[in-house]
Structure 1
Amino acid sequence: MNWNKVKINKDSSEVKYQLVVNAINDSIANNILKVGERIPSVNDFSKEYKFSRDTVFKAFTILKNNGVIESIPNKGYFVSSNIKRVLLVLNTFKEYKQVIYNALIENLPKNFIVDLQFHHYSLENFKTIINNSKGKYYKYLVMNMDHVEVPEILSSINNDQLLLIDLNVQFSEHQNYIFQDFGQSFYDCLAKGVPLFKKYKQLVYVYPSYTYHPRESVVFFEKFCADFSFSYKIITDPKQFNVQKGNAYISVSERILSTFLKQCREKQYELGEEVGYLSYNETPMKEFINKGISVISTDFEELGKKAAEFIVNDNPVQLIIPTSLIIRTSL
């Protein structure tokens, strides 16, 4: 028998049965194998690709258990599903990332399955996730991290299968991306809030030392205050956070929001009059907390939708999602 539709990378470090599983999954995802198409028997596949019968049998068993192939008595093995698996790699779990995930899932056809993993800003975790996923997925959506080794780690994934999301760091002009802008867009949103900021004596940017929020936002905050003649302060140590009447606070940390609200309640400060607060990243609850928390935020639902379009349509994408200022009673 001469049947070699499935291409198997025998140079990979994967165990042999996983090589077979990955190769068949990849062939189905890329329409090389189609639903209903017959594939060789265990013996024929073993002879064609020079694997042991046990290796092929184990691979076929995994594929059957996953619903990818089926065996029909006296007829053989057939492709039973065109399921396409997608890997979504996020840095950490936060509420706004749930919005991205939900929008992605809701805008994908039912034959797409999304596996979610987190690298927690650890290079070793990032490297392990990417290396262990090579060849297993139809598309890869990766929230990258700011480290010089990241481009090399991602180079093993074809550019047409890879979409970088959220952070515009460590990428090339040839890659697909959907980013938010933490610099000029942040500045522009602050500029729209100038009439509200003017009722406060000082603007305080709370940028905790533990945050991974891009440092460029600090640069553009300082530029904004200089351009519009605002007195300002930057707090990096959360222990120094102490709400003062007459200040407006801008923070990138959800932890600071809860501390701020607690201190306002204890000091009986009226939010939006005696003190102000502007939070980064919209979440479903900020509209309702204390009659509404003002936010600067990217449209994360739109980000998820655009990511789904990339997966389904196979069209290249290079997009910056707009950032908006949403005014509520906290300013």
Structure 2
Amino acid sequence: MKFSNKVSKVNQVIDHITSEIADGVYALDDRLPSVNELSQKIHVSRDTVFKAYKELKQRGLIDAAPMKGYFVLDEVKRVLLLLDVYSPFKEKLYNAFVENLPENVKVDLLFHQYNEKLFDMIVGDSIGKYNSYVVMNFRYDEMTPSLLKLPSSKLLLLDFCSFPKEGLSYIGQNFDEGFYAVLESALEQLRKYKRLVFVFPEDSVHPKGAGDAFARFCRDYHFNYEVQRIHFQATDLSEGDAYVCIMTDDLVAVVAAANKAGYKFGKEVGVAVYNDMPLLEIIQEGVSAFSIDFARLGEMAASFVMTGEKIQVDMPTCFVERKSL
């Protein structure tokens, strides 16, 4: 067994034993190696193995008895959590997910990085290895074909779900009508501005229908508007505009340009971002957001893993009001 310096040896031994139980190397009630046996096998101290076994006993995964030694007390369930890319709000989802799962559930967190070959490879390699599959689909409006190889009763789709789902479980968000509705909820704040600008670069993976929904909202409520399909530049800043950003880099560019110009957010200019994250609470005394509740998403996904009950939910997009609008 090879050890990393990034995690304590005790935790790595715990993960090693948990993985072997999950992989079926040790089944329910099977005897585990003694402290001496495992110490010699993986080349760690007896104290390290003892501490790992003690922690696993506290988690209820193993137990010990006279004449029998250590043995498997509970099965380990393995879950694949396949997300798109890392972001602070995905971390919020992940934390809520694992916090609502018992100790005998081992979660493998992977990211497909919007690389379809990588997505297909991860899904293909996972077949038959997991008790549950919680996956952010590759496309918004089409079920990724490789997912059809997974047992539908064990699959939960997250986020991108705008296609016929029939008997599938999903927790999605509506980037069209949901976006229109949340803009309506911010109508009073948006009325303060002469023009609304949706900074929606071509290289964004955000569903294209969001741009149509934004334009329709602006027409219906008689706003001057622009759907800007390139990244924000400092020269784009104009007093009286409110900017809705999809990408964090564009939010940073808007904030930097406004600060340089001496504009006050919530007065001379406004800004909001899609998807809430903790950092937004302290930037510029608070940046408004249009977002689903990612912690709640994680909680519901954990419930699916534990109960196996079918779930079909479209989460509402909410207006998180702060001083930037």
TM-score range, shorter chain: 0.7 to 0.9
Corresponding position: 1:110 with 2:103: yes
Cα deviation, 1:191-225, whole Å, max 9, x if unaligned, reads 12222222211100000112111111111101101
- Relative to structure 1, the CA distance from residue 269 to residue 147 in structure 2 (aligned partners, 3 Å threshold; closer, same or farther) is closer
- Once the two structures are superposed, the pairs formed by residues 1-331 of structure 1 within 5 Å of their partners are 25=22, 35-36=28-29, 79-146=72-139, 150-169=143-162, 172-238=165-231, 240=233, 242-331=236-325
Give, as a single letter, the amino acid of the residue that structure 2 aligns with 1:277. V
How far apart, CA to CA, are the structure 2 residues paired with 1:153 and 1:188? 33
Contact 2:162–2:174 under 8 Å retained in 1: no
How far apart are residue 278 of structure 1 and its match?
Answer: 1.3
Could you say what secondary structure the match of 1:182 adopts?
A: coil
How far apart are residue 171 of structure 1 and its match?
Answer: 5.5
How far apart, CA to CA, are the structure 1 residues paired with 2:140 and 2:161? 12
Cα deviation, 1:110-136, whole Å, max 9, x if unaligned, reads 110110111111110001000111111
How far apart, CA to CA, are the structure 2 residues paired with 1:23 and 1:207? 46
How much identity, in percent, do the aligned residues show? Answer: 36
Could you say what secondary structure the match of 1:155 adopts?
A: helix
Could you say what secondary structure the match of 2:149 adopts?
A: coil
How far apart, CA to CA, are the structure 2 residues paired with 1:236 and 1:244? 17
| Count of residues in correspondence between the two structures | 282
Give, as a single letter, the amino acid of the residue that structure 2 aligns with 1:144. N
How far apart, CA to CA, are the structure 2 residues paired with 1:287 and 1:205? 21
How far apart, CA to CA, are the structure 2 residues paired with 1:83 and 1:250? 44
How far apart are residue 304 of structure 1 and its match?
Answer: 0.2
Instruction: List gaps (5 residues or longer) in structure 2.
Output: 1-18, 32-52
- Relative to structure 1, the CA distance from residue 147 to residue 180 in structure 2 (aligned partners, 3 Å threshold; closer, same or farther) is closer
Could you say what secondary structure the match of 1:286 adopts?
A: helix
How far apart, CA to CA, are the structure 2 residues paired with 1:135 and 1:272? 53
Give, as a single letter, the amino acid of the residue that structure 2 aligns with 1:157. L
How far apart are residue 269 of structure 1 and its match?
Answer: 0.5
Contact 1:35–1:82 under 8 Å retained in 2: yes
Contact 2:77–2:104 under 8 Å retained in 1: yes
Cα deviation, 1:224-283, whole Å, max 9, x if unaligned, reads 011001000111111556211110101111111111111111100111100001111010
Give, as a single letter, the amino acid of the residue that structure 1 aligns with 2:315. I
Contact 2:140–2:207 under 8 Å retained in 1: no
Contact 2:81–2:109 under 8 Å retained in 1: yes
How high is the TM-score relative to the length of structure 2? 0.78
- Relative to structure 1, the CA distance from residue 24 to residue 160 in structure 2 (aligned partners, 3 Å threshold; closer, same or farther) is farther
Instruction: List gaps (5 residues or longer) in structure 1.
Output: 1-21, 39-65
How far apart, CA to CA, are the structure 2 residues paired with 1:221 and 1:270? 24
Could you say what secondary structure the match of 2:226 adopts?
A: strand
How far apart, CA to CA, are the structure 1 residues paired with 2:128 and 2:72? 19
Contact 1:26–1:135 under 8 Å retained in 2: no
How high is the TM-score relative to the length of structure 1? 0.77
Give, as a single letter, the amino acid of the residue that structure 2 aligns with 1:156. K
- Relative to structure 1, the CA distance from residue 134 to residue 244 in structure 2 (aligned partners, 3 Å threshold; closer, same or farther) is same
How far apart, CA to CA, are the structure 1 residues paired with 2:216 and 2:242? 17
Contact 1:144–1:169 under 8 Å retained in 2: no
Contact 2:141–2:162 under 8 Å retained in 1: no
Contact 1:182–1:216 under 8 Å retained in 2: yes
- Relative to structure 1, the CA distance from residue 24 to residue 159 in structure 2 (aligned partners, 3 Å threshold; closer, same or farther) is farther
How far apart are residue 166 of structure 1 and its match?
Answer: 1.1
Q: CA RMSD in A?
A: 3.2
How far apart, CA to CA, are the structure 2 residues paired with 1:170 and 1:192? 26
- Relative to structure 1, the CA distance from residue 293 to residue 314 in structure 2 (aligned partners, 3 Å threshold; closer, same or farther) is same
